[in-house]
Structure 1
Amino acid sequence: MSIDKVNAIIGKEFDEIMKNKYILGSLVAVPLLFSLLLPASLIAPAVFYPEAYLDANETSYIATALGKSQEALISFFMNAVIPFFMMLPAILPTIVASYSIIGEKKNRTLEPLLAAPVSVYDILAGKALSAIIPALAATWISAILFCVITGAITYTGLHRIIFPDIAVWLLGMLVLAPLLAFMGIMIAIIVSSRVNDPRVAQQISAVLVVPIMSLFIGQMAGFVLIDLKVMVGAAMLILALDAVVLILGKSMFDREEILTRWK
């Protein structure tokens, strides 16, 4: 694998991303929506109207588990929203990659790239990194904005800043997010090798969101508590799945097959 060749492919892909308003809009709008909507819908009510949660029959299990503690309730919601930010690196790379790969198939520009003196690994690495880098950047910026806005809300309502579980969030953002981003891009490559519509590729790849959001639903329903053990277990599982999709992605991205079958 050549770093110079990979960098050249990344530069080419970034140029295409900057020209695509749909991709740019998705990279900006979706993370911004999460960083604004989640504090407003979950954190703010827990700060200013905690009794709405602690006294409600529907959430009585939360009150029992947290001992009627407002600060514990806020921390509970901070951990509960982690799956939303883990969802971003799973979805955003598929948007970039599906348009990149399928766009090249439609424009017949993939064949010249394959004919160039670059290896399949150079192409895969360049396309993967060009999708993962902006997706992770958007995810991390969104998470930082969420923490800043949450801190401002807790300081305004309680006159002190309540921070999320640092270990859980760091593991989620620095380990799970890259692993999920890699899985998202490899699934996009696998799906894109069999379809010619980027929207179809995105819809099929979106199945990855289901197990991620099950963590949020499980936490809110009282079936699971998102903590360090859960996050470590999830990281180990996703790492194993990444190895599987890497093998599948490499087998799908075959030079001769692409030239003869990717029509």
Structure 2
Amino acid sequence: MSVIALHVSEHGVSMACDGVSYRSDGKISGFVSKMYPLVHLNAVMGNTGVGGICAAIIHLMGDHVRDFDHLVEVIPELFKFAYNKIVETHVPNVDDLPPSCVVIAGWSSLRNSYSAYRVMSYAKQTKDSTSGKNIELKPWKVHEIKEFWASFEVPEDKMRSFLVIDSGATDAISYCARYVCAARACSGTKDPDAKGMNFNAGGFLQVLTLYEDDIRTTIAHRWVTDAVGKAIDPEQGERMPSSLM
């Protein structure tokens, strides 16, 4: 699995992701965006795990999804259908199948606010942000995201090293971008959500901002040392864009 970092507030949505695709042996197979602006819905969609999920969901959506609130209603069904079709067609051994997650964020006309949600192909143990109790998030169900969420948990020492903590940064997009850079430094470590597979992130850093009437995305940085056929070496290349240093 790779990394997506998302922040949602009353002011808008900020999102960042890496851009690498890799095989089970950890070697890079190619480069791909993990998030897709849905400009007609004033929304964004991203995914980790099985590649091609977002593209398949967008194909299934066609022009039938009316707005972001409608997408929230139908995303579990669309995700599950797309996931199963890709598995049937491209994954001969189900044991090689990485767990997958789809995240959506956008402007909700019903709530008159920005909102974000995630749907997973697997059950996940986590802590309730309000009570602190351990809970299980069910697969194929919509789970709301409050404030900040990331698909991979970066250790505190890496967070401090990349100034995710104590950076003094006040803008959410810089926070998300730093988080993705810190996640790349964890490449080669075990991913607790990925059946013992190693975690990898890299290739490029893509950032996105979404406001009520405006969506913008750009490639903020490329790690040119991350090459197809090779494993990611987080010690090679710039740690993060100069604009974040």
Q: TM-score, normalised by structure 2?
A: 0.22
Larger helix percent: 1
Larger strand percent: 2
Q: Which has the larger radius of gyration?
A: 1
Q: TM-score, normalised by structure 1?
A: 0.21
